[in-house]
A and B are shown apart, each in its own frame.
Chain A
Amino acid sequence: MLSKRSLVGIRLNFQTLAVLFFMLIGVSAYAVDPAVANSDEAISAGKTVFNANCKQCHKLDQKSVGPALRGISDRRPIEWAKSFIKNSQAVIASGDAYATALYKEYNNTVMPSHEFLTDDDLGNLLAYIEYGDKVDPNAAVAGAEGAATGTGAGGGIPTEYLTVILGVLVLVLLLILVVLGLIISVLTKYLNKQPLAEDDQEFISQKTDIGKIFKSDAFIIVVTALVVALVAKTALDGLYSVGVQQGYAPAQPIAFSHALHAGQYEIACQYCHTGVEIGKSANIPSPNICMNCHMHIQNVGGKEGISPEIQKIYDAVDNNQPIEWVRVHNLPDLAYFNHSQHVAVGGIECQTCHGPIQEMEVVAQHSSLTMGWCIDCHRQTEIAAEGNAYYDKLVQLHSDSKDALKVKDIGGLECAKCHY
């Protein structure tokens, strides 16, 4: 979810890494059981298992819904860990003291059973837990800095600079005006002291008639033109904003917080929005997806009882009554947009269009979703062509060019790419 493509992502990445850095200093004193495999294959296979089954509630080095997992092989025997993962309730029921204490510590939150995991899966999972995604604190900081400078260089001249430059220019022009005025007055004074012909004298001492200027055709035309231009600009801007709902943040039937789920717990977007990599619609999750976690998590912040908001999910499931969410992002019918093209093929981050969703308590429309906005991005975005044989020929034909292969170069600005 967090990569170097979005500014927001980088900031968060940096924060997370910083937290990790301090945590690692504190908790890194443990010894990994030598029985846990330490091969790359095992770790990457274990990561898949972890992401699919554990990530919603566990982190490696941090307490989340459940405890931080790294070091488990030091704290408990491997066999215990495996049987607990497979069926924690059975272990607790067997009267195991450690398990019972753990259960109590985490507010009697039930961890679902994972009987379907094979012994190999569990071995890989433990390998990942112990060795996976370990960050060398020094490297982390360096990496984050590198990324930060990287974006600074790549952005071109930022708009703030332009404003400053404009301001300076105006200042300089004003100065020139003042200086010119001064020069005129000095010259007039000087000339007045000289003996001159009457005509010349009259010319020098003539006064500017401001009223005449106001009444002059040129002035009226200029002012009228300015007023018309301003009115037209305002009207046009107004018309352009018709139907644009940037910032639209309607109240939803359930006060679902992305800040909590995507931000604090870092649940991957795709976990709930299952269609985002395969189809046109990203999909609003159906309550059965919510229930994967909320079967066990009934309230926020470790409070007792059932949260009234979570209760709404239970009601929907019990009454077989679908939840009527309010659509936030509405494209007109005439525009075809496909999530999988952008996310799976283009590798675009969710946040690029949807903004810092992981900070939103209530989802708001971040981008304008106008055609100009789409087109701008298509002009600037490079094709993620690497490793994708579909683009081979296009890349080859484009190889003479100095510029990178962008969406616009392969027909990304054509009408029938979105309108049909």
Chain B
Amino acid sequence: MKENKKTYWKGLEQLSNDPEFVKHADREFPELPSNLSEEGNASRRDFLKLMGFSLAAASLAACETPVRKAIPYVNKPVDINPSIPNYYASTFASGGDYAAVVVKTREGRPIKIDGNELSPINKGKVNAIVEASVLSLYDKQRLAGPMIAGEKSDWKTVDEQVKSKLASAGTVKVVTNTILSPSTEKAIQEMGAAFGGVEVITYDPISNYGIVKANETYYGQGVIPSYHFDKAKTIVSFGADFLGTWISPIEFAGAYAKTRKISKEKPEMSRHYQFESNMSMTGANADYRTPIKASQSGLAVLALYNAIASKAGAATVSAPKVEIANIDKAANDLWAAKGASLVVSGSNDPNVQVVINAINELLGNNGSTIDFTTPVHFRKGNDARMNQFIGELKGGQVGAVIFYNCNPVYDHPRGAEVAEGIAKAKVSVATNGTMDETSSLVQIVAPDHHFLESWNDFEPKFGHYSLSQPTISPLFDTRQAQDSFLTWGGSSSNYYDFLRMNWESSVFTQVETGGEFQEFWDKALYNGVISANKITAALAPVGDVSAAASEVAKAYKADNAGAELVIYTKVGIGNGTFANNPWLQEMPDPITKATWDNYLTVSQSWAVENGVTMVEENTRKAQITVNGKSLIVPILVQPGQAKGTFGLALGYGRTKAGRVADGVGVNAYDLLEASKGFVNFDITSGVEIAVTADTYKIARTQTHQTFMGRENVIQEATLADYKQDASAGRYKPEIYKDGEFVKPSKISLWKGHQYSQHHWGLAIDMNSCIGCGACTVACQVENNVAVVGKQEVLNRREMAWIRIDRYYSSDAAADDLTGLEMASENPEVTFQPMMCQQCNNAPCETVCPVAATTHSSEGLNQMTYNRCIGTRYCANNCPYKVRRFNWFKYHDNKDFAGVNIAQNDDLGKMVLNPDVTVRVRGVMEKCSMCVQRIQAGKLTAKREKRKVQDGEINVACAVACPTDALVFGDMNDPNSKVSQLLKIEENSTSALKEVAEERAYHVLEEINVSPNVWYFTKIRNKEKNEA
């Protein structure tokens, strides 16, 4: 079966994947480059000779058409038809990070992951990491089979050795990140039964143990509740990046966006306060953001508690006085929205979390926005037990240790000690899929399948289940870790049967009352998710706030003079598990827009004091020393960084992740401290920062900070203004013509197009765009967009078809042009997704000398690669700077093989979308509005002899968007969602649609290029607009 699939695909899809063809392509002009490089001073004659030769060679090569094979299956599976995609419901899970997904496969290979709309958790949405995870399946650095002592082995030997060694090891410990799978937990216990029991030690690289611990003391149960951001009218977050990285960001982003959507019918939105040190993506979306020092954060929480308590008539706690802006304002808003508000904190300090619980209790949020009846399982890590275990491991008290898909040597603060301890264990086994920092130290590696090759089940929340199923036969000689556990435990059952049996006895009985299990199973597998109609008991406080409050009052200081390091997680790289994925490395960070690096974020005032200036990408390096450990990191000046604090991201500095991630950035896990019984991400003492003389370049895709007050680009208003006038904040340029001022669209050089059938358009709500970047990766996967690597990003040659422009506000006067370039100390942030605007009066089309970019009868600006000769006139004439030029051949080029892995080796190429051309050197490319999807959708409608239905054709960015900020559709269809949003009433075939929605505007409206992409003004829930 496996062989069939591979050969079949190679045969029929010769498009770009046939090795023979690839070889040919490589050999086309062997002499030309080498000759040129040999002769440094090649004369013009030589050049002409070579030209002549290459012309002849080109014609010759073209004449010899290679023989192409078409190889059908021997026995074609019924439901696999070449060129027709199949979709399978499955589940992405990496530790406690979870998303129910739908996997698109072509000819038996997964090529795209979208969210599963049936999921009550991520509701059809994904984030960048989930989108990108399909590429890690085709990573040729995955282990191809089991290893013993670093040598290749086979499963039989491995099983024999593990069994005999475990039997004599004494204690068996399984170290893991959060396991969401009930059947996996059961399989581990089954294995344990054969060896006198195993202990499962769970830790999470991004620990939320503080919440678990706090709930244990305060509510009597160490669980994390479900948070309902969608029910909250006032949201206060102390450093919790809940839109980007905190616990269940996809779910929270979707719920949060619901409270941020605004229309004339519903002119209400939530108000969001953020108190934090680093500028996080969540903070960037807040209405009121207050930069605070990490050392103050506990006191800020106490201040809020006291403010609320005095309103509620409850006892206040004694706390050192601290001046923090907006605390009282937040308290007032929270109190006004009692029962429909939410206070969260990203702190891992259990005492702080207890105070947070107390605040939410005073506000009556427990039971409304905080739901203990459906606790979540995303973070089961126990920092205290892990700490203790590392001690045991180091002390040689551990007989056998099995690392189940976790990498503590890299991603635990005491990784070095784990590394030391592994050697002392009698038996060490890892199921990790690659030779990473941990698995390279163990005796036996029994590599697990990739999640797209596996069966598994998940219970992300109490009573909510999902399944994952294989979407491809295993590519390598790997084995599902659960099968390994069962085998080692002496069971003859395979994991699939084990899983089914487990479901028959547990989930089936909870969900169904009678009926056939087979029917239930088929349905569950088809849908991917299933919910039992059950909840657990609500929790009421059993603890008291005073003890925790006095601890907090002791531990935090109102005025800490020393430098503070706040270690955070990036939206793209996360905890570093997927660091070896070039799509994620090249995804610009939502805030800093930096790629391929982590760096020390510093405040603007600190930079001025220390003479660090960042001119575009050029910066200096700093040495950071934390309690004796030091690292050299580049500096990035970050507006909004709290004074006296510094930020550094986790997930970098991998040493054995693979060719993409190794040596990129520094490992910040080393600086975390675990001594207080929990992993502490805020280092408030013993931090020294010294600027070094070394210079460095950080590859950022956007080096300007502000939009320089250009209201033709960013248009925004406050909620109060919007309520009075729906067009508040709109900039309406007018142009003088024949004695009067008219709208730019009234003056045109062009006759205007007619779109008789479809008129594709995109509406982008800047109010709900949170800047997460899921769209950019989704676009990269869908459209075979090349990864170019750090140097080329520095050269401004990144290839992304969609980018998210991030603008800071400036507090300079409108005429102070130099001052306007500088962002405010604590700026407002606006995110603006920018892609080809598909102009009706497209400036690019008029300047192309070969008509390679033309207009379609459906409103699309078409880019024809095979016609393009690379003059780049179009890019020069594009006012939105969204065209991308292929400066190099990024595919089949050894210079890019290390970064552009999806287009360079046979395995990586399996991820390419066969419906989209891989572009060559010298041609222009840009957003096509997923024309391949439009064509496919139209064809389906034609085959079924019906009209295209709204929603059946959707662009990759809009599908991925967790907040539904992008809405795509046919503007000729008055009932489509996009027409309704824009309030296009008349059903005309004209390219110029009358849009009645007051918030909708075109970027750069005055030049009247008449885009088919509309933006909606950003509305801030603020009293007044301030910088």
Q: Which residues of A are interface residues toward B (Cβ below 8 A)? A: 239, 242-243, 245, 250, 274-275, 277-281, 283-289, 316-317, 320-327, 330, 332-334, 336, 338, 340-341, 344-345, 387-394, 397, 410-411, 414-417, 419-420
Question: Does B540 make an interface contact (CB < 8 A)?
Answer: no
Q: Judge whether B65 and A245 touch: CB under 8 Å.
A: yes
Q: A327-B68, A341-B939 are in contact. Are A281 and B83 (CB under 8 A)?
A: yes
- Total contacts A-B at CB 8 Å: 167
B856 A416 Cβ-Cβ under 8 A: yes
Interface of chain B residues 61 through 107 with chain A (CB within 8 A) = 62-63, 65, 67-76, 81-84
Q: Which of A245, A287, A388 contacts B74 (CB 8 A)?
A: A287
B931 CB within 8 Å of chain A: yes
B82 partner, pick from A283, A327, A345, A416, beta carbons under 8 A: A283
Contact indicator B866/A334 (Cβ below 8 Å):
yes
Q: Is B945 in contact with A389, judged by CB distance below 8 angstroms?
A: yes
Contact B917 A419 (CB under 8 A): yes
Contact at A287–B71, with CB atoms within 8 Å? Answer: no
User: Which of chain B's residues have a CB closer than 8 A to the CB of A242?
Assistant: 59, 62-63
A40 to chain B, nearest CB (A): 23
Structural contact, B858 and A278, CB atoms closer than 8 A? no
Q: Are A322 and B71 in contact (CB under 8 A)?
A: yes
Which 8 A-B pairs have CB atoms at the shortest separation, nearest pair first?
Answer: A280-B83, A416-B862, A411-B857, A415-B864, A286-B76, A327-B68, A279-B83, A286-B72
Looking at the assembled complex, report how far the CB atom of A257 sits from the nearest CB atom of chain B, in whole angstroms. Answer: 18
- CA gap between A229 and B721 in the complex, in Å: 73
B1027 at the interface (CB under 8 A from A): no
**A392–B945 Cα gap in the complex (Å)?**
10
- Asked if B932 is at the interface of the complex by the 8 Å CB criterion, the answer is yes
* Residue B915, interface by CB 8 Å: yes
Quick check: A420 and B916 within 8 Å, CB to CB?
yes
Q: Is the CB of B81 within 8 A of A284?
A: no
Assembled-state Cα–Cα distance A393/B759 (Å):
13
Q: Is the interface of A mostly helix, strand, loop or mixed?
A: loop
Q: How large is the interface on B (under 10, 10 to 19, 20 to 34, 35 or more residues)?
A: 35 or more
B676 CB-CB contact with A under 8 Å: no
Q: If the complex has contacts A286-B74, A394-B756, A420-B916, are A279 and B82 also in contact, measured as CB distance less than 8 A?
A: yes
Evaluate contact between A285 and B945: CB separation under 8 angstroms: no
Q: Which residues of B contact A286 (CB under 8 A)?
A: 72-76
Q: Does B337 contact A (CB under 8 A)?
A: no
Q: In the complex, what residues of A have CB within 8 A of residue B11's CB?
A: 322, 324
B23 contacts which chain A residues (CB < 8 A)?
A: none
What are 15 A-B residue pairs whose CB atoms fall within 8 Å in the complex?
Answer: A279-B81, A280-B83, A283-B72, A327-B70, A334-B866, A336-B932, A340-B943, A341-B942, A344-B943, A389-B946, A394-B756, A411-B858, A414-B857, A414-B862, A416-B862
- Please state if A420 and B942 are interface contacts (CB–CB under 8 Å): no
Q: Tell me whether A416 and B931 are in contact (CB under 8 A).
A: yes
Return the CB mask of B265-296 against A: 1 if under 8 Å, else 0.
00000000000000000000000000000000
Q: Write out, one digit per residue, whether chain B residues 935-956 have a CB within 8 A of any chain A CB (1) or not (0).
A: 1001101110111100000000
Contacts of B931 in A (CB 8 A): 416, 420
Known: A326-B67, A334-B865, A420-B928. A388 touches B945 (CB 8 A): yes
Q: Which residue of B lies closest to A339 (CB)?
A: B83
Contacting B73 at CB < 8 Å: which of A322, A325, A415?
A322
**CB atoms of B942 and A281 under 8 A apart:** no
Q: Mark B989-1001, 1 if CB is under 8 A from A, else 0.
A: 1000000000000
A414, B856: Cβ atoms closer than 8 Å: yes
Q: How far is the CB of A342 from chain B (nearest CB, A)?
A: 10
State which of A239, A243, A345, A411 has its C-beta within 8 Å of the C-beta of B942: A345
Beyond known contacts A278-B84, A321-B74: 13 more, CB 8 A cutoff: A250-B67, A275-B83, A286-B72, A287-B75, A322-B4, A322-B74, A340-B939, A341-B942, A345-B943, A390-B938, A390-B942, A390-B948, A419-B865
Give complex CA distance A333, B69 in Å: 15
Query: Does any Cβ of A come within 8 Å of B867's Cβ?
Result: yes
- Cβ of B368 within 8 Å of any chain A Cβ, yes or no, is no
Q: Which residues of A contact B756 (CB under 8 A)?
A: 393-394, 397, 410
B939 pairs with A338, CB closer than 8 A: yes
In the complex, whether B473 has a CB less than 8 A from a CB of chain A is: no
Please state if B854 and A415 are interface contacts (CB–CB under 8 Å).
yes
Identity of the chain B residue whose Cβ is nearest the Cβ of A250 in the assembled complex? B67
Q: Which of A245, A327, A393, A419 makes the CB contact (< 8 A) with B864? A: A419
Write the chain B residue with the least CB distance to A318: B74
Judge whether B16 and A333 touch: CB under 8 Å. Answer: yes
> Is the CB–CB distance between B72 and A323 below 8 Å?
yes
Nearest Cβ distance between residue B688 and chain A, in whole angstroms? 55
For residue A198, give the distance in angstroms from its CB to the closest CB of chain B: 62
Beta-carbon contacts under 8 Å, B20-35 to A: none
Whole-angstrom CA separation of A415 from B867 in the bound complex: 9
A281 touches B12 (CB 8 A): yes
Return chain A residues, CB-CB under 8 Å to B938. Answer: 390
B886 lies within 8 A of chain A by Cβ: no
Q: Is the pair B81, A278 in contact by a Cβ cutoff of 8 Å? A: yes
> Shortest beta-carbon distance, B422 to chain A, in Å?
44
Kindly state the separation between the CA atoms of A278 and B944 in the bound complex, as whole angstroms. 11
CB pair A420 B856 closer than 8 Å:
no
Complex Cα gap A397–B755 (Å) = 11
Asked whether, in the complex, the Cβ of A326 is within 8 Å of the Cβ of B16, the reply is: no
Closest to A274 in B: B81
Shortest CB-to-CB span from A179 to chain B, Å, is 50
- Tell whether, in the assembled complex, residue A325 and residue B70 are in contact, meaning their CB atoms are under 8 Å apart: yes
A210 smallest CB distance to B (angstroms) = 40
Which A residues are CB-close (under 8 A) to B305? Answer: none
With A279-B84, A322-B8 as contacts: A411 and B75 at CB distance below 8 Å: no
Q: Do the beta carbons of A336 and B915 come within 8 Å of each other?
A: yes
Bound CA–CA A283/B866 (angstroms): 26
Q: A286-B72, A325-B69 are in contact. Are A387 and B945 (CB under 8 A)?
A: yes
Q: Which residues of B contact A250 (CB under 8 A)?
A: 67
- A281, A330, A415: the one within 8 Å of B68 (CB): A330
Instruction: Please state if B757 and A419 are interface contacts (CB–CB under 8 Å).
Output: no
Q: How far is the CB of B153 from chain A (nearest CB, A)?
A: 28
Q: Which residues of B contact A333 (CB under 8 A)?
A: 15-16, 917-918
Contact at A281–B82, with CB atoms within 8 Å?
Answer: yes
Residue B799 at the A interface, CB < 8 A? Answer: no
Closest chain-B Cβ to A195's Cβ sits at a distance in Å of: 69
Q: In the complex the two chains form, what is the Cα distance from A265 to B857 in whole Å?
A: 45
B605, CB-defined interface residue at 8 Å = no
**Cα–Cα distance between A284 and B72 once the two chains are bound (Å):** 6
Q: How far is the CA of A410 from the CA of B864 in the complex (A)?
A: 19
User: Using Cβ atoms and an 8 Å threshold, which residues of chain A touch B946?
Assistant: 389-390
Flag if A288 contacts B74 (CB, 8 Å): yes
A20 to B931, CA, bound (A): 49
Q: Which residues of B contact A239 (CB under 8 A)?
A: 59
Q: Which residues of B contact A345 (CB under 8 A)?
A: 939, 942-943
Contacts of A415 in B (CB 8 A): 852, 854, 856, 862, 864, 867
Tell me whether A326 and B866 are in contact (CB under 8 A): no
CB atoms of A388 and B942 under 8 A apart: yes
Chain A residues with Cβ under 8 A from B75's Cβ? Answer: 286-288, 317
Which residues from chain B contact A344 at a C-beta distance below 8 Å?
Answer: 943
CB-nearest residue of chain B relative to A386?
B945
Q: How far is the CB of B741 from chain A (nearest CB, A)?
A: 35
Q: How far is the CA of A188 from the CA of B918 in the complex (A)?
A: 76
Report the bound CA distance from A325 to B917 in whole Å: 25
In the complex, whether B618 has a CB less than 8 A from a CB of chain A is no
Whether A390 lies near B941 (C-beta < 8 A) is: yes
- Residues in chain B near residue A323, CB distance under 8 A: 71-72
A280 contact set on B, CB distance < 8 A: 82-84
- B848-861 vs A, CB cutoff 8 Å, 1 = contact: the mask equals 00001010111010
Q: Judge if B440 is at the interface, Cβ distance under 8 Å.
A: no
Chain B 922-937 interface residues, beta-carbon cutoff 8 Å to A = 928, 931-932, 935
Q: Does A243 lie within 8 Å of B757, measured CB to CB?
A: no
B7 within 8 A of A: yes
Chain B residues positioned under 8 Å from A278 (CB to CB): 81, 84, 943
How many Å lie between the Cα of A394 and that of B754 in the bound state? 12
B775 shortest CB reach to chain A, Å: 19
A389–B62 Cα distance when bound, in Å, is 44
